[in-house]
Structures are given as C-alpha cells and as structure tokens.
Structure 1
C-alpha cells in the first residue's frame, strides 16, 4: 500500500482516538457540577452527556474548517501527513498525562499547540498562518476571562431572583434545572470540541491530495461524533472530582449558574467558528460564580494550579510535537 495512504489511515485512527480521549477527558467538565450537587447520578450524567455530545458534534462544522486551514495551510504544507500525525500523538500524550493526574487541562490548547509545533519543526515559523493562528489564540486567551465575568453576572442575577426565596426549597428545584443545563453544556461541548478532530482529518485528506476543498465530508462528521460519544460514555471521574468540588463547594444554584454562563460562551464561539477550551471556560465560569457568592469560598490554590496547567499546555505540547515530528521524519526516510 502507498505510504501516503498508510499515513492518512494512521491519522484518521489517531484523530478518532484523540476525539475518544477528549470525550472522557472533557466529559467531566460538562457534567461535574450536576454530579457534585447530586442532581444526576454519575452514570446517568455520563450517558446523557454522550448522547448530547454526539448530537452537538453532528450539528456544526465551522470550527472544523477553522482548524483545518487557519493554523497552517494544508495546501502548501510539505510532509503534511507527518506533521499532522506528530501533532495528534503529542496531543494524545498530553491529554492522557493530565487525565491520569486529574488535572482539567485543555485538549484544544494541546492540539493547537501540537499542530503549530510540528509544523514549525517541519518548515520553520514562516509556515504558520499568523492571521488565523492569532485569531485562535485570542479566542483561547479571552474566553476564560469572559467566562469569569459571565459566571459572576449570572450568579449575581440568580441571587437577586432568589433573594426572598427559601434557599433549601430553591436549591431542591434548581436540581431539576441542572439536568437541563448539564444537557445543554454537553451539547455545546460537542458543537465545539468534536469539530477539532474533524478539522484534523480534513487537513490530512487535503495534504494527501484525497480532497481538494475544505468542506467536512459526512463520514468524517459521523466518525468524529461517534468517537466523541463513545469516549464520553466512559467518563472521567478524576476530573469530575477536581472541577466539581475542589475549586469551590458547589450548590445547585451555583452549578446552574456556571453551566448556563459557560454554555452560552462555548456556543457563541461555535457560531463564529472559533475553537475555545471547554475546560477553561467551564472552570473559569465556576470561579466567577464562586466570586459572586463569596470570594473566600473559592479555593484559589487549586485554581492557581489549573491556570498554570493552562499556561504550560501549549508550549509543552508544541515541543513534544516538534520532537515527535523529527523522530517520525528520521524513521520515514
């Protein structure tokens, strides 16, 4: 079999593996608050998230097109298949390491950093599509700050609405609302995160001359959505514990406020075709909600560790991808 075909098949397999891992790595983010407040049992929440992720993944393709062309141009990328394969291996390694230690790191940062690192390793800094790459970086950097503000405002609104209500009865009723907000959160996760693997597969098809346009083929959408849904069904209990309890003590009203604010931001990013980190957005929304409730109630030490992981993910994944590319290139000669 032709080497290009073999490499393309490997990329498809690794891209779907990335989506599968992303499913159980990021499932926790979408359902952590509803599980921690006991609005949903863990297994029920995970199955619901799997279905909603699948539906969300099939609904949009704009983010996939951004990933496929805005970091590097696949039409001019030399050794494109090796670059993409190296990026996928790097992103998978970083996702598994952070999942093992229960750290809610960003799959988006890992993948985008890995693509950039592998491409630079192959062809130098000039290969980057700077206008598109900077636009993506801006979305990744600004979205957590917007999420903190949105979480703060949403919780402040909830406090005004529930001012004269019995808090115990209100929290009991809001648990039912949380079922809906968790489903919405999972749907928006699918609309943004599953698109990244679709974009990677499309890049590979273009780089290997198996596709001439940037449209996302239907089989790519089905395969990525299925991989995300299956990965989600496994769940990520270590990260649920961190996101759902270690940042702050979450009550149903806090969880609903965090879910609604973060879902709006993720879906907004999907509508303008920009990839954002669902991990960043959801964790930041929880911090914003906690700040509106009581600033001292937020465990800022845990939040600091999460932020440090966010900062180091992109440069570390870029470095790993650069090294893997050189190794793959060495052995492919």
Structure 2
C-alpha cells in the first residue's frame, strides 16, 4: 500500500468563523489573518493505492460553481486535483473509490462536474464507487437551515443518480470485513488496515478515516481538527452544528492520538501537512509538524 497527498486547491475563510467564540488575539497566533480577517485554508486530499484499488479521500471544491460563488472564497495558489494526481502518475479515470468524509461543498464539490455540453452534471470520477454513510446522506439531502448553504444538490445527487453511490455499512461495504471494536464511535476493517471514527459535532456522522501505513497510524482529520491551531478543545469552528459535542469528540480522539502516536493528516491547514500531538498540563498540544515527504519518501 502507498499513500499520496493530493492538493485540490487553496482558499481563504473568515478567521472568526473558523474559530467560533475564540478571540482573534488567541487564534491569530497560529492562523494569522489578512486585512479582511481571512485565513489560509487548504483542500488537501489523500490517495490510497492498495493493490488494484485507488481510493481518494475527499475531493475539494471542484471547479463547476460560478465565479460569484468562488469570489467568496478567495482561491490562491495553483493546486488542482488533476495536476496533483498526474504528479504521482495517476489520472482521475484511475480512481476506483471516492471516500467522502462528509458532503459539505469544500469536501465533495470535486466529486461532480459539468457534463460535456454543460446541460447537467456527472460524476467527475467515472470509474469510481462513491462512499458515504446512510445517516449522513439523509442529513445532507434533507438539510437543516444552518447547513443548507453547504450541502449543494449539484454536488451530491448526481452520485446517486449515476448508480455509483454506496454506503459504508451496507451490503457493498467499503469496510469489507467491517466490525465494531467495542467503541460505538469506531468501526474497522482488517483487510485494508482502515478504520473510521464517526463524529457528530461538526455535522451528522462525519467519517474520520485512519490508515495503518508503514507502521504508523495516519488519521485523516477532515473537520474534526481543521488546522493545528484548533488543538485546544474550546477552539471549535463556528460552522459546527453541535459545538458542545465537538469538544468531547476531539478530546476522545486527541487523547487516543497522543497515547498511540498517531500522525494527523490535516486537510485544511495550508501550512502543516501532518502533525503529532502530546499530553501536556494544558491538555493535548502540538508535538511535531512534518511534510508528507519527510515522513514517507
């Protein structure tokens, strides 16, 4: 098995929204803002090559939305999925599985594209099975008003309409030897050394994958830990639907990460690709920061 970081494109978000009630004087120490209060955000995906399966975790925003839409997110840099796949010798048609941590537009927008004559939408990975979970799919396709702007029908419904959608835990489970390991938040599969932590604070049944790779546990943190600056438990995004639930979920996961020396792959941190954490008197805090190549190349 091999892992590859896939950069889907950088953008900016309001720092206050990213840190909720935490004062700017605190969060700006780790995530400095520009004159418009915007901070740097990445859309860093992860590609897993495992035998004849090529699994992409999350897909970024994509490029099908309007200029007005993208104008809200101040895209910067020159990263995109196609160039990043090509860098590692792959094409989007090689992808066999797209695993979506959740269906907010900045995580799944790249999963769907315009069709050839721009009259409708189609899966952007024509040979891939798309993986969500049934509870989150229901949540996303019947959205509450708080999240409605993040769950865009054009990003979601074409996966199902194409017949390429499957749910983790159904008869075609991505976790082909799925079992529960005694913790209600976790399920795992021995065959691929792949497990999932289900988190409900940010959105219903967000999936946090963990992969055993070269003797290390690599956890794809999605929006459970957007950046290294979010390590303190009260540093919770304003986007979270249940912030009081995010905190204990973070605590459970970060304690386990510190106890077992997990390598935390940060999807949204534009400046830290992978970090480890440690126990301190103030709680779990940053230990070391690495680039992917420093660890695995």
The two structures share one fold, judged by TM-score above 0.5: no
TM-score bin, normalised by smaller chain: under 0.3
- Higher-Rg structure is 1
TM superposition score normalised by structure 2:
0.27
TM superposition score normalised by structure 1:
0.25
Higher relative contact order (CA 8 A, sep 6+): 1
Pick the structure with more strand per residue: 2
Pick the structure with more helix per residue: 1
